[in-house]
Amino acid sequence: MGEIEIINLKPQLVIGIRKKGYYKDIAELLPKLYEYASKKGAEFSGMPSFICRESAEEAEEANKTGNADIEVVAPIKNRIEENDEMHCYTLPGGKMAKAIHKGPYEACEATYNELFEWIKKNNKKIIGPIRESYLNDPREVGPEEILTEIYVPID
């Protein structure tokens, strides 16, 4: 893990899909999201993200039971037609603690632990859903080269 920094993210228009399931389902939801958005004429404006609405303790149990709250989004420049699954909305911005994880997605836990420890040590409070932004494609790079930005909204 690299250095932890505090940044201010701007609000962002996104197209997203949300469901209950296992975190491994992210790999199936992203292509579905991009296929739909592309067919509807979306102009993408950034890398895809996963929105985690559960605490670390809740997330582990929810994933075991297939009851995890999974949402993936892609930043877009223009609103597109929605349906029962796909929704356009503005993802809020704000003050975030940011860390970059390099390596397999399954090995992110150490980066999260360091980030949560940093937040605690610096008397910050988590005030919203955590985001993971995927900076490269695991179909194009090896597992050790995967880059994931982790954003934690803080107060």
HEC-encoded secondary structure of the chain: CCCCEEEEECCEEEEEEEEEECHHHHHHHHHHHHHHHHHCCCCECCCCEEEECCCHHHHHHHHHHCCEEEEEEEEECCCCCCCCCEEEEEECCEEEEEEEEECCHHHCHHHHHHHHHHHHHCCCCECCCEEEEECCCCCCCCHHHCEEEEEEEEC
Is pLDDT above 90 for 145?
yes
Amino acid type, 122 = N
Instruction: Spell out the CATH class of 5-153.
Output: alpha beta
Q: pLDDT (tens digit, 9 = 90+) per residue, 64-113? A: 999 999 999 999 999 999 999 999 999 999 999 999 999 999 899 999 99
Query: What are the residue boundaries of the structural domains of the chain, listed by start?
Result: 5-153
Q: How confident is the model at residue 17 (pLDDT cuts 50, 70, 90)?
A: very high
Mean pLDDT of 115-126: 96
pLDDT at position 1: 61
Mean pLDDT computed over every residue of the chain: 95
Give residue 41's region: left, alpha or beta (phi > 0; psi -120 to 50). Answer: left
Whole-angstrom distance, CA of residue 62 vs CA of residue 82: 28
Is pLDDT above 90 for 126?
yes
Is pLDDT above 90 for 10?
yes
Q: How confident is the model at residue 57 (pLDDT cuts 50, 70, 90)?
A: confident
Whole-angstrom distance, CA of residue 13 vs CA of residue 92: 9
pLDDT at position 28: 95
pLDDT at position 56: 77
Q: What is the pTM of this model?
A: 0.91
